[in-house]
Amino acid sequence: MVRTMLTAAFAAAVTLTPVQAQDLGDVVGGIARQYLQQEQDRAAYAQAQSADTRAAYQTYLRQFPNGAYAAQARDRIQRLGGGTPATAPANPTNTDTAGLTREQRLQIQRQLNGLGYSTNGADGNFGPGTRRAIGLWQRDRNYAQTGSLTTAQANEILRGTGGTAATPSAPAPSVGAAGAEADLGLGREQRRAVQAGLTRRGFDTRGVDGIFGQGTRNAIAAWQRANDQEATGYLTAAQYDRLIAR
């Protein structure tokens, strides 16, 4: 249905005046964003169904507390013998940003994107996309999945970018290798291609899942050392091009 609407809208745009086309473009963009969100919701629930555990359905609900499948997920949790988890508030108190400069918040978003946790943009504002990314990052490190960073967690992320620790008077950090990689804007399929390229060359990434976890970072660093380059664990544009080439 959505694909049909998009196709019709694009076809109509060809015959419209520039102003009309711009208006229609805004509509098409909105439809595309809605479709993408629906697809992410569907994929997350399918993943939960595949695992069919309380933890998997709880993870889905944390990502999509009001998703299309939220009722089914809660019902399945009950059937599996567990209560529905408390979900994070829709507008969490941003106490975790009080001691961060805008550049540090940008660094955190870039690092999360570089690790495969999409923040839906890097603008220095911790909106719902960033909160969701933080929650997933916390989950994968066995932290409480709150969507808000403690000072120690903010520092952990910043140190991964070569940034400065989070303190009220801290100077803005340099972009560093992680920020440069984040600026490449690699999508999940592109990250999978990198992991596949490393694996073909004998550098084990511990999976080809499109998420740059510690296994992938170690593999990138090992490949960089083997090619007489600085072993940062983060890719430059030239290194990305080399790795995806067959």
Q: Tell me the pLDDT tens digit for each residue of 224-234.
A: 988 888 888 88
What is the per-residue pLDDT for 239?
93
CB proximity list for 144: less than 8 A, separation 6 or greater? 138
184: left (phi over 0), alpha (psi -120 to 50) or beta: alpha
Q: What is the value of pTM for the model shown?
A: 0.36
End residue of a domain, out of 176, 204, 227: 176
Average of pLDDT values for 53-59? 82
End residue of a domain, out of 23, 49, 79: 79
CA distances from 215 to 154, 212, 224 (A): 21, 8, 14
Distance separating alpha carbons of residues 194 and 191, to the nearest angstrom? 5
End residue of a domain, out of 79, 106, 125: 79
Q: Is residue 150 part of a domain?
A: yes
**If pLDDT is split at 50, 70 and 90, which confidence band does 220 have?**
very high
Distance separating alpha carbons of residues 194 and 235, to the nearest angstrom? 10
Number of domains in the chain: 3
Whether 166 has a pLDDT exceeding 70, the answer reads: no
What is the domain range of residue 201? Answer: 188-244
Q: Are residues 166 and 216 in the same domain?
A: no
Over residues 18-45, the pLDDT tens digits come to: 545 555 555 556 676 777 778 888 888 8
Average of pLDDT values for 63-71? 82
Q: Measuring CA to CA, which residue among 123, 36, 131, 52 is closest to residue 91?
A: 131
**If pLDDT is split at 50, 70 and 90, which confidence band does 175 have?**
very low
Least confident of 9-18, 46-55, 182-191: 9-18
What is the per-residue pLDDT for 47?
85
Return the C-alpha torsion angle 93, 98, 102, 105, nearest 10.
Answer: -60
Whether 129 has a pLDDT exceeding 70, the answer reads: yes
Terminal CA-to-CA distance of the chain, rounded, Å?
37
Q: Is residue 192 part of a domain?
A: yes
Whether 186 has a pLDDT exceeding 90, the answer reads: no
